[in-house]
Chain A
């Protein structure tokens, strides 16, 4: 595995912010370091655009605050990168799509606003599969990001730019979104921490919607501690997102709830289809957790293998609805002023030109499963299977406090190796069930297989993110 963490290696976010606040270093220095690293590692193509001018202005504001002895916030001067499906000022917001090429956001995502309010500085926008549809960034309408550990391989997706950026240490942390694994998979493939919060814990206002019943926002970072701090700043109810839930008091200083937590090893995730070396690495990680005091119990969730089929009904259905807004009239790519003669023509040409293959495939699949005559057989059936999956999780959590498994059946694959769309969908097999149940989950680096990073997936109970982070930190301290 290539050693990529060269200088400057970022200290923990807490340390970086404390140094800015004390005047020992400055926000301007940190932003310049980040921008220099982005330039230095451009060949991995993790970044769509920088927000350099705005970032430098914001750094100056932070430095001025410090100079006048004012509190610059818990993340004072800490640079970060946002996946390009977060609305942000300072550059266009494209979701890596031709549809939104040149789109100039009129407001910022709540998550970005909250981070900025604590002094963090967005320096760039990261590549993704267009509209977050994919598991490798190969569906980006612009370019494919390369895995920092082996540039012939994908970084995972859809938050692949964010995963690669953190692995390259371009910034101390990056933001991603996870609908069916899109934070956890790139975290696993790139060897960084990726945190998917409980559904509703972080406001999605200003984040380009994919599938609204499972979309969540979360951090990718070098350590669980850093991810927890970022979550702590972003979490909580937001009047602009009616699906947000009440937060727990703190995500940073969780007392250990139990000396010996019971951790269930998901039997189904170690059966057919998993690479033997990946399975061994994850099993060894589980043993390390046991040696730190956790009680391991093998547990069966028989409905889990159904989750992928249900997911690929529900998610395209929601996508077809959410992408309905791209009609070329108010924003986005438009065929309105050119060839079209009627409004319907203009819609059809706009969408034909602006959407890539994967978006079209999902829109049409979603339209099919929602159409009259098929709705009950597909969409309603899938939502009922979803109940079955949730019941399985509830049964499991009656016996254990946490669940454990791999993030993905394999390590990062070669660019171009997944030629047909269905085989790409199968990569989500170990992440989608958690998304359908809205549970919190984290991918923590746990070793290598075939000389490439492997992530350990730890899964918590709904709305118990603090407890999950505590377990993840306990694991991280062991390694």
Chain B
């Protein structure tokens, strides 16, 4: 299989990436090769098997991992805000959401 340029652009958009033209061509080839490789699973018979999404078995009501919802000071407000790119007052400032 070979992804079209349009398909790569759609993937880039869904992935929130603005690709250069060179990258589009490159990923067209490389992602196509990866998808062709993994397509070998098409021929594998999995009748009667269900999917495994996790291996710990921690899923039932009894053993689901919950904890009390208590406030801790694992990270302070100041320590969290020091990595923010733009700030106004005590808040994170972001760009306009609706163009």
Q: Which of A310, A352, A390, A422 contacts B41 (CB 8 A)?
A: A310
Knowing A351-B15, A360-B23, say if A329 contacts B92 (CB, 8 Å): yes
Q: Is the CB of A368 within 8 A of B11?
A: yes
Interface size class of B (residues with CB under 8 A): 35 or more
Q: Which of A313, A340, A420 contacts B38 (CB 8 A)?
A: A313
Q: Is the CB of B41 within 8 A of A306?
A: yes
Q: Which of A328, A361, A365 contacts B85 (CB 8 A)?
A: A328
CA distance A320 to B98 in the complex (A): 25
Quick one: CB contact mask for A350-384 with B, threshold 8 Å, 1 for yes?
01100101001101110111010000011011111
A239 at the interface (CB under 8 A from B): yes
Knowing A329-B84, A383-B51, A383-B53, say if A368 contacts B31 (CB, 8 Å): yes
Residue with the highest number of chain A CB atoms closer than 10 Å, among B30, B85, B94 = B85
Q: Is the CB of B27 within 8 A of A364?
A: yes
Q: Which of A371, A384, A390, A425 contacts B46 (CB 8 A)?
A: A384
CA distance A340 to B40 in the complex (A): 42
Q: Is the CB of B92 within 8 A of A106?
A: no
Minimum CB distance partner of A423 in chain B: B33
Interface of B is mostly: loop
Q: Is the CB of A343 within 8 A of B46?
A: no
CB of B54, distance to nearest CB on chain A (Å): 6
Knowing A348-B16, A422-B33, say if A387 contacts B52 (CB, 8 Å): yes
CB of B70, distance to nearest CB on chain A (Å): 10
Q: Is the CB of B86 within 8 A of A384?
A: no
Q: Is the CB of A336 within 8 A of B65?
A: no
Can you offer 17 A-B residue contacts whose CB atoms are under 8 A?
Answer: A104-B82, A106-B76, A106-B79, A243-B65, A309-B37, A309-B41, A310-B38, A312-B34, A312-B37, A341-B96, A352-B18, A364-B8, A364-B11, A365-B31, A381-B41, A387-B51, A422-B33
Which B residues contact A (CB, under 8 angstroms)?
8, 11-12, 14-19, 23, 26-27, 30-31, 33-35, 37-42, 44, 46, 49-56, 58, 65-67, 74-76, 79-80, 82-86, 92, 94-99
